[in-house]
């Protein structure tokens, strides 16, 4: 209702039916409360996105599915997502480590998808799956930040266009 900056920890606690001291004890401050409120939900969204991606048959389709599923999470709550992104990019411990673990989990999943694609001969044998994963995440995070800044309305299309530059010989629409 008020936005993150104007929200008051005492009012948040009162609406939750607990004391401000209880919130401070468990979460440290309102940033910690924000991270705790969204972390598990984002974690579950990432698990679903990784699973959905694995169900597709080509690497390009898998990455497109992963991209769309994660963006669906953010787009379902745009204002809160923008605040959460801003706060999580510069989070203190322990949240910085927990968000880094989420990114690492996605990176490992993309690396595994790329390894499988290389085994299927969809990618050249010289392709480094870990480097491909870093490249994908770089493109994804660029699109996510551009979306958060409201510079890009369709971040999924931006990621898809960039992936097609990386895989110019891939056939078919990944959707």
Q: Tell me which residue of 157, 148, 153 sits closest to 80, measured CA to CA.
A: 148
Write the pLDDT tens digit of every residue in 83-98.
888 888 788 888 889 8
- 129-137 contact pairs (CB < 8 A, 24+): 132/166, 133/107, 133/108, 134/107, 135/166, 136/63, 136/110, 136/163, 137/103, 137/106, 137/107, 137/110
pLDDT score recorded for residue 175: 40
pLDDT score recorded for residue 158: 97
């Amino acid at each position: 209702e008020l936005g993150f900056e104007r929200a008051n920890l005492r009012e948040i606690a009162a609406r939750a039916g607990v004391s401000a001291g209880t919130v401070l004890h468990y979460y440290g401050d309102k940033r910690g409360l924000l991270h705790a409120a969204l972390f598990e939900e984002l974690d579950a969204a990432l698990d679903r996105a990784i699973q959905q991606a694995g169900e597709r048959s080509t690497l390009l389709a898998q990455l497109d599915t992963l991209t769309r599923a994660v963006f669906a999470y953010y787009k379902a709550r745009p204002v809160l997502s923008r605040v959460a992104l801003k706060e999580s990019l510069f989070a203190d411990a322990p949240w910085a480590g927990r968000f880094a673990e989420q990114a690492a989990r996605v990176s490992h999943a993309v690396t595994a998808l790329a390894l499988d694609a290389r085994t299927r001969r969809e990618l050249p044998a010289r392709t480094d799956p870990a480097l491909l994963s870093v490249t994908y995440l770089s493109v994804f995070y660029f699109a996510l930040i551009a979306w958060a800044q409201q510079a890009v309305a369709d971040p999924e299309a931006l990621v898809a266009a960039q992936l097609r530059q990386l895989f110019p010989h891939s056939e078919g629409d990944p959707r």
